[in-house]
Amino acid sequence: MLLPSRTALPAALAALLLCACQRQEAEVPAPAPPAAEPTAAVAPVDARGYCPAEPGTAPSGELVATRIAAADGDGSKGLYEGPVWNGDALYFSDFTFADGFPSRIRRLTADGRLETAIDPSGSNGLALGEDGALVAATHDRKELSRFDLVDGSRMRIVGEFQGQPFNSPNDLVIGADGTIWFTDPDFQRAAGPGGQDKTRVYRVGTDGEVTVVDDSIANPNGIALSPDGGTLYVAGGGEQGVLRAYPLVDGQAQAGRDLVAAAVPDGLAVDCLGNIYLTEHNRRRVRVISPQGQELATIGVDANLTNAAFGGSDRRTLYLTGAGSVWSIELDVAGLPY
């Protein structure tokens, strides 16, 4: 049972977010340069300590993932979302299409057992916090929350911008310095009162200050960082969607550029070579994109997709979530856990 929530004190926030950084307004996205040939010879610097010295080789061609877990029925009543590999298990959000979009955090163990970790959670995207805690983008309270997996407690990190609640925080990623980047579309805005006048990408500094990264993508969705922490990736825009890259300089987002167009782009994962794994919801596939914007491979499934994360003991298993299901595929490259 979930214990009563409490508001995070500055000291608690400081423990989660490790140092203060300043922000610079992002400029209007510039066109992407011509795609360059991918390279797998040298692994990028690994800012968060997730990657091995020899990460492996990027996938190529047309691949197919295998369904390894499924909810009762055909998955039409809800979605699995926000996978993250934590310790020796895959954690993800399980939410249903009902009033308030109730959700819980599930755990899929290495031996295939499906367990409930937090119920209710109101969560969508998940990220790794300190000491194995989960940091979640939650729509029930329109906030970023920290969940302690030991005692089930919930702590609010941030829940407003300019005095108004967020729309429905969707996905997030945490940098090596503790800065949080997250997307705020309006998909579950009806889960609670209030909201923003636009859908945006936000940055939460280690001092708790919330600033806008970009408000030009309609319903921004998936978000990820490159292994070296030098580039922020955001997917969104619906049927006429994009995958956009923002260089980060001294923790500041620079002008974004569109890497590829995408139809209903959803979640993102990144491997240790820096390649981006973009899920296309309705097309039921993952597109593997090089940092230069070249498509390297596709990975198909048999239902609508939401998100992706690398896991397993060597983090070379790509896990995919979607319409009431989890899929996996073994790859020759290691990747980031969310």
> From the annotation, which residues make up the binding site for a divalent metal cation?
81, 221, 266
Task: Give the residue carrying structure tokens 């994009």.
Answer: 242
Nearest by Cα to 309 from 265, 279, 273: 279
Please tell me the distance from the alpha carbon of residue 251 to that of residue 20, in angstroms, as a whole number.
9
Residue set of the binding site = 81, 170, 221, 266
Residue 266 falls in the annotated catalytic set: yes
Q: Are 300 and 272 in contact (CB under 8 A)?
A: no
Chain Cα centroid distance, residue 217? 16
- The full length of the chain comes to 338
Concatenating the DSSP letter of every residue in 166-192 gives: -S---EEEE-TTS-EEEEE-STTGGGS
- Please give the C-alpha separations between residue 112 and each of 109, 145, 150, 326, 329, in angstroms, as whole numbers: 5, 27, 21, 11, 15
Q: How many CB atoms lie within 10 A of CB 261?
A: 11
The secondary structure of residue 208, as a DSSP letter, is S
Please tell me the distance from the alpha carbon of residue 276 to that of residue 211, in angstroms, as a whole number.
25
- Please give the C-alpha separations between residue 24 and each of 31, 36, 202, 219, 223, in angstroms, as whole numbers: 20, 28, 12, 22, 19
The secondary structure of residue 98, as a DSSP letter, is S
Ramachandran angles phi, psi of 191, nearest 5°: -65, -20
Q: Are 338 and 78 in contact (CB under 8 A)?
A: no
Please tell me the distance from the alpha carbon of residue 148 to that of residue 35, in angstroms, as a whole number.
43
Nearest by Cα to 55 from 65, 44, 47: 44
Helices within the chain (DSSP H only): 10-16
The secondary structure of residue 1, as a DSSP letter, is -
Q: Which of 94, 140, 258, 266 is catalytic?
A: 266
Residue set of the binding site for substrate = 170
State the catalytic residues: 266
